[in-house]
Amino acid sequence: MRFWEAVCLGLIGVPALADPGTVVVVGGALEDDNADVYRAMIRAMPEDARNVVIIPAASGIIGRSVPRATKAFVAHGVDPARIVTAHVAMADDPDTPDVDESRWNMGGSDPAEIAKIEKAGLIWMLGGDQLRIMAALVKPDGSDTPMLAAMRKRLEQGAVIGGTSAGAAVMGEHMIGCGSPDIALTGAVSRDFRDCDGKEEDEGSVPLVLGRGLGFLPGIVFDQHFSQRARLTRLVRAVACIEGEAVTGIGVDEDTAFVFDIGHEAGVPVGRGTITVIDPSEGHRSCDNAVMENVRFARFAAAKE
């Protein structure tokens, strides 16, 4: 099924199927009181697996981001005793002098941390830097760490995998590492994530850098903070330049989630903003100047309870 059709099916409410799990892609800046998004995640959890595992790998402020995420899940009905943090990270939080989180850099291969994933009903990846997530969960040769393999298995068994901001960027088969929207349409395109090092996108001169994501949703590239940071040009160029027979771009606004039921092959936007879908499957695309013909484009408002 083409992804465009999957989105539309979700919007008209075809009944969900059981077995495989759900992927929840949040565009960042998720407010703690956004009941629609939190309920969508919690309701999708298997009845026999109610543990929430927080993966803080992207964050550089783990001492603040993990407690905030925990508090939000508790506020929406999760038993605090069922919320655990997977010790997998790449950067130390200077505000936690008693803990050096950079020592968690091998957490993706630690049996004790993998055991947390194996019991999870919801695996939640925090925001920060998506390249840290990739470094934490993917081996240098491009293969899965044992933790990532365990995450894939849990998804197959019905669990939810969600992420916000950087945690959203990694969800698709393809990934935007960085890139300034100001120059995205006509600037250089790189396939080397090292071109993102030490650069701020708001400088207006950062090249669009494309690469592989974690691949929970094949054929997709996500962009987050979408409307708020005017990233339409960036997503258009990414869709035009990603190599492969089929690729769909999905931009997700802040405080908004794209909830995709894998068993159902259908997705729906939830929360307070919109999602934008760019589908070139029935047209032509070229990386040079992001030329595309006969491309489907749509914005869908998030569903509210």
3-state secondary structure 203-243: HCCCCEEEEECCCCEEEEEEECCCCCCCCHHHHHHHHHHCC
* Mean pLDDT value of segment 27-34: 98
Residue 16 has pLDDT above 60, yes or no: no
How many C-beta atoms lie closer than 10 Å to residue 245's C-beta?
6
Question: Which DSSP state fits 83?
Answer: E
Helix segments in the chain, DSSP class H: 3-12, 35-44, 62-75, 111-118, 130-137, 146-156, 166-169, 232-241
Q: Among the options 59, 225, 227, 264, which is catalytic?
A: 225
201 classed as catalytic: yes
For 83-106, how does the pLDDT look when each residue is reduced to its tens digit (9 = 90+)? 999 999 999 999 999 999 999 999
Q: What is the pTM of this model?
A: 0.93
Closest CA to 13 of 263, 257, 264: 264
CATH 3.40.190.100 for the 3-301 domain, yes or no: no
Q: Among the options 76, 118, 201, 265, which is catalytic?
A: 201
Residue 17 has pLDDT above 80, yes or no: no
Q: Among the options 65, 165, 180, 227, which is catalytic?
A: 165
Residue 269 has pLDDT above 90, yes or no: yes
171 close to 216: Cβ distance less than 8 angstroms: yes
What percent of the chain is predicted at pLDDT more than 70? Answer: 93
For 103-131, how does the pLDDT look when each residue is reduced to its tens digit (9 = 90+)? 999 999 999 999 999 999 999 999 999 99
Residue 57 has pLDDT above 70, yes or no: yes
Closest CA to 264 of 44, 94, 9: 9
* Mean pLDDT value of segment 282-300: 92
Residue 33 has pLDDT above 90, yes or no: yes
225 classed as catalytic: yes
Angle at which helices 130-137 and 146-156 pack, to 10 degrees?
100
Phi-psi region of 77 (alpha: psi -120 to 50; beta: other; left: phi over 0): left
87 classed as catalytic: no
